[in-house]
Structure 1
Amino acid sequence: MNNYNSEFKINDRLISINSPTYFIADIASNHDNDLDRAIDLIHEAKKAGADAVKFQHFTADTIVSDYGFKSLDSLSHQASWEKSVYDTYRDAECNVNWTEELVKASKRENVEFMTTPYNYDVLNVMNNYVNAYKIGSGDITWIDFIEEISKLNKPILLATGASDLEDT
């Protein structure tokens, strides 16, 4: 016997084992910090059949440590990057001020707008714009944040790719 809901809705779309696949196009940070490109990617996602588009909202200051990455030994895969890890993340930020434009573009394409928030400030801004949240697998053990999101009473999609069974 399971102790979870076997179906839920995102907006008016039923998500269940018996429902058609719910296709979320993970745009994430692939917009190259360019609003026009982000909007183009929403359009391309719809052309590919997406039901939803998902971005990542973070700031480099709150997600990575420039000092920490600079102190890693040169054998890490980031050692071959042209820019520092911090600068790479800074260049990949999704500006919160774009949100209304991204939501409008999503509505024009008839796809759901979603995001993965990576801090409390973003969470508070995004709550007016999303019908569901996605939590990245790197945050699966950030229990306080997951509990805060759960208080918003919206569906939560929890990635597990960077976790193991003990984390769940």
Structure 2
Amino acid sequence: MKIANRVISSKSKPFIIAELSGNHAQNFELAKQMVSAAASAGVDAIKLQTYTADSMTLNIDSDNFRIMEDDSLWHGQHLHELYQQASTPYEWHKPLFDFASELGLIAFSSPFDEAAVDFLESLNVPAYKIASFELTDIPLIQKVAKTGKPLIMSTGMASVSEIEEAVAAAKDVGAEDIVLLKCTSTYPASPENTNLMTIPDMANKFGCAVGLSDHTLGIGVAVASVALGACVIEKHFVLDRNAGGVDAAFSLEPDEFKLLVDSAGVAHQAMGDVVYGGTAAEEKSKYYRRSIFARKDIQPGERFTRENVQIVRPAIGLQPKHFNRVLSASARNALKAGDAIFDKDLSE
């Protein structure tokens, strides 16, 4: 499959997405700086989130709409207020998309309601992302799938049956290009709760390309995912964690994103193919294996012994597996100390 002109497959280097989320702090110039820094870091794409606070939740003063978990980054905040802080204004989308395109980046978004899909279609986005929390919103998935564009779906919290239902719903209305992202919907996520072994299992179960939406700190988990078949990696992005941002605590800074891009590329190159017997690049190294040499001058007819022959580097003469045969033989020819021993030198 392709997103814009970029091939997405296990044979291609991972498609790396910088998620801007709400870390722009409602500052357009900061958002542009983020896009520029993401391009410098070498990512393939930047992604926005398209919603309004009113499309996400109700502005009602009730604990039903307040984040009550003590361990949440957003403990005590009202959902409507949080989404107001984190939303990306609709009027920013086109200039940010255009700016990203000028820098050679692919730009798209996660819609959170059907009106957002219509808006993004008016901007001709090349792909769509469904967030983990919207994976059970079948009407939204089908609205996106009907566009015929590639569809990336995060699967945080989702059971097998819920993923099956989402994939089937998308395919029922014509979706062909689907990527599923393994995701752990905690913020930040811990490595021990990431369960990367789900990636190859997900590929087998659902017959889709699979990647990772990663909320852990650092890049280790994301790089490891490449070895298990992740062809897409999404991480949240921030210019400076210390400056804050709604998702800053689990977002990567530009230098870290550059390291992720480079390391994921190396990990992909290292996967290679199933190879035994050494690669062409190793051929010269075989010279430094061991073989059998005369360690002293040896006269014709003289017996080979452990005192006058030795297994040493390099691999010029008979292989070490022939050592016992050499010790049971006599010299056919005169040998000088340092001569490699060959079959022609044995009188057996």
TM range (shorter): 0.7 to 0.9
1:94 maps to which of 88, 103, 118: 88
Cα distance, 1:144 vs structure 2: 1.2
Q: How does 1:24-103 map to 2 (within 5 A)?
A: 24-67=17-60, 70-71=63-64, 75-77=68-70, 81=75, 83-103=77-97
CA RMSD of superposed structures (Å): 2.2
Which amino acid is the alignment partner of residue 108 of structure 1? E
Instruction: Show structure 2 runs of 5+ residues with no match.
Output: 164-348
1:14 maps to which of 7, 10, 29: 7
2:108 maps to 1:121: no
Rounded to whole Å, the distance in 2 between the matches of 1:73 and 1:109 is 39
Structure 2 SS opposite 1:16: coil
Cα distance, 1:65 vs structure 2: 3.1
Cα distance, 1:75 vs structure 2: 4.8
User: Which of the pair has more CA radius of gyration?
Assistant: 2
Cα distance, 1:69 vs structure 2: 5.5
Which amino acid is the alignment partner of residue 19 of structure 2? D
Deviation readout 1:95-118 (Å, 9 max, x if unpaired): 111122111210121101110011
Structure 1 residues 89 and 129: alpha-carbon distance in aligned structure 2, compared to 1, 3 A threshold: same
TM-score for the superposition, normalised by structure 1 = 0.86
Cα distance, 1:125 vs structure 2: 1.1
Which amino acid is the alignment partner of residue 39 of structure 2? K
2:163 maps to 1:140: no
1:166 maps to which of 138, 156, 161: 161
Q: Which residue of 2 aligns with 1:4?
A: none
Q: Which residue of 1 aligns with 2:224?
A: none
Rounded to whole Å, the distance in 1 between the matches of 2:134 and 2:68 is 25
Structure 1 residues 55 and 69: alpha-carbon distance in aligned structure 2, compared to 1, 3 A threshold: farther
The answer to whether the 8 Å contact 1:24/1:51 transfers is yes
Cα distance, 1:126 vs structure 2: 0.7
The answer to whether the 8 Å contact 1:96/1:122 transfers is no
2:137 maps to 1:156: no
Query: Of the two structures, which has the highest relative contact order with CA contacts closer than 8 Å and spacing of 6 or more?
Result: 1
Instruction: Show structure 1 runs of 5+ residues with no match.
Output: 1-7
